[in-house]
Amino acid sequence: MDASTLKDIQTPLKQQYRDDPGSALVTLHADGELDGSGVACRVRTATALAEAGLHPATGGDGTQLCSGDMLLEALVACAGVTLRAVATSMGLDVSGTVRAEGDLDFRGTLGVDKEAPVGFREIRLSFALDTSATEDQVASLIKLTERYCVVLQTIKGNPSTSVTVA
């Protein structure tokens, strides 16, 4: 997709959201199934049924997906798509890789140490880019990618959350 095509697709959406801000509010959802044996949850994706289970550091055997890995994968996917969209809008030819790493202390999630945090202590997102763009263009590309990456901004923003039981 080139910049003109992307602009043609996004321009009417942007105008619609300016004219009717409520139409920009979309509720995304994910569903999981707790049926079956073992300590697992089956999650429906757009194209498959993924089964998440315990990470080996918490007793899993490594044959199921780890939800922590899935969070990092979502970050990589969002950052990669966002970077490509921004690069397209800027008219930049960019390829390369995206990597997310996160540090966990499993003492927290296993209840071994009540002072140990449950969740990631630190998450690092990095890009290895192959481009003829200038240093200033790359800096702008990364700045805009950070600004518009939904998953990154969600992680950084600590959104309001709730838990309910039906």
Enumerate domains of the chain plus CATH numbers.
Answer: 3-157 (3.30.300.20)
Burial classification of residue 100, based on how many CB atoms lie within 10 Å of its CB (0-12 exposed, 13-18 middle, 19 or more buried): buried
SS3 sequence, 44-57? ECCCCEEEEECCHH
At 79, which amino acid appears? A
Coil, strand or helix at 147: helix
d(CA 34, CA 14): 39
Question: Which pLDDT belongs to residue 120?
Answer: 95
The structure tokens listed for 153 are 């901004």
Q: Bridge partners of 44?
A: 49
Q: Which residues pair with 126 in a beta bridge?
A: 99
The pLDDT value given to residue 163: 96
pLDDT of the chain along its 166 residues, tens only? 899 999 999 999 999 999 999 999 999 999 999 977 789 999 999 899 999 999 999 999 999 999 999 999 999 999 999 999 999 999 999 999 999 999 999 999 999 999 999 999 999 999 999 999 999 999 999 999 999 999 999 999 989 999 999 9
Q: Of 151, 111, 143, which Cα lies nearest the Cα of 127? A: 143
Q: What type of residue is 9?
A: I
The whole-number pLDDT of residue 35 equals 77
> Which amino acid does the sequence have at 68?
G
pTM, rounded to two decimals: 0.91
In 3D space, the residue among 125, 73, 127, 72 whose CA is nearest the CA of residue 95 turns out to be 127
74 three-class SS: helix
pLDDT at 3: 92
